[in-house]
Amino acid sequence: MTLFKRLAPSAIALAMFAASPAAMAQQSVPAPGTGLLDLYTYLHTHPELSFKEQQSSAILAAELESLGFSVSTGVGDDWVRQKSERDEGTVREGVGGYGVVGVYENGDGPTVLIRADMDALPVPEQTGLDYASKVTAMTWTGVESPVMHACGHDVHMTSWVGAARELIANKDAWSGTLIMIAQPAEEIGLGAKAMIEDGLYTDFPVPDYNLALHVSASAPAGTIAYSPGFALANVDSVDIHVKGVGGHGAYPHTTKDPIVVGSAIVMAVQTLVSRNVDPQKPAVVTVGSFKAGAKHNIISDEAELLLTVRSYDDATRKLLLDGIERIAKAQAEAFGAPEPDISIDSDYTPSTYNDPDLTDKAVAAMRGVLGEENVTSVTPVMGGEDFSQYGRTSQDVPGLIFWLGAVNPEKYEKAKGGPLPLPSLHSPFFAPDPEPTIETGVKAMTAAAMSLFNEG
């Protein structure tokens, strides 16, 4: 059964979107039950950086509490035994930072987890919207910067709230346990891991399924896109400290030039993709930063290379990382330079795999409420998402993250084949078309969850 067929489209819009964005710009902190467009505009105007999502998490926790979500005072198997001892009507805050967890038990059935991420980016907003962010804050790297929801997490949070409202309002139509989590620090790839390490799968029920959505800057509002199987990539960060022997630029024979060594490394690591990786397996090795020297006529004694490395399967990931280390050391030896220091960030973001069976069920349900033509399969991308962490634990929980079209349909049509591309995610010009985007997100997520609760 699909929820939104119970209401006429005009009734849905009236219930979800109570005011214009312009009217919302000066509003105080939204209370539970605030119209979704009002909520979205407030969140967009008041973005918070990773692990600083204090107000966003409080707003979302209050919303869950008003809907009757609860948490257990016990852990693991005690969840069942201590049911009578629970603190009913409360929601757990502060999980893995500012993470929020709410649990709603609604009889026997599957346990479905729905996740939204909350953090914004250190990007100066240039959308020209009258509710554009004017917030500045200190980044995790210690830089004072303007802050913007340039990756759509404000849409994610709002759609999450809307789905929670719809599922609770229609609880007679499904049976099972609903877990709603609001996650911090997705943008730095640490929030999901922090929530898991802080007891997400021990202090709360272990889900049977995980669901999430992410806005798309390349699809029109009102549509959904998905990729069965691998959908997003492993993301590794590699730092290479190239060592040399500095000296005068006029006497290079007396030096070991780290710029030359670094340049050779840059060119050689590209052969990992072109000559070592199976051509049918996607892989990316990008050198995003190359820093060395301070003056025209001085040969530095060091250089720094910063790389991002992308892959899907773990075997390809290992091949790339081992190859980078081998090449960097061998190139330095070839030039007679000292061995470089190589650092691979242990907090990497693993690839996201959409369980095919789960995807089929959810997609069928989403097509039922949105129409066959508005839910389409797309090619996977090499971006990263730490939603993958929720399925990479010992629990091995199947998951699905799908793309939510966010571009104004008229702008989308004009941009097709035009000279200027649409603003991408993380762009200071990225501005979702909020009303149809959020309405579609609520419909899609609600339908997907319902299909899983009612699969039996």
Catalytic positions: 119, 186
SS (H, E, C) the chain: CCHHHHCCHHHHHHHHCCCCHHHHCCCCCCCCCCCHHHHHHHHHHCCCCCCCCHHHHHHHHHHHHHHCCEECCCCCCHHHHCHHHCECCCCEEEECCCEEEEEEEECCCCEEEEEEECCCECCCCCCCCCCCCCCEEECCCCCEEECECCCCHHHHHHHHHHHHHHHHHCHHHCCEEEEEEEECCCCCCCHHHHHHHCCCCCCCCCCCEEEEEEEEEEEECCCEEECCEEEECEEEEEEEEEECECEECCCHHHCECHHHHHHHHHHHHHHHHHHHCCCCCCEEEEEEEEEECCCCCEECCEEEEEEEEEECCHHHHHHHHHHHHHHHHHHHHHCCCCCCEEEECCCCECCEEECHHHHHHHHHHHHHHHCHHHEEECCCCCCCCHHHHHHCCCCCCCEEEEEEEEECHHHHHHHCCCCCCCCCCCCCCCCCCHHHHHHHHHHHHHHHHHHHHCCC
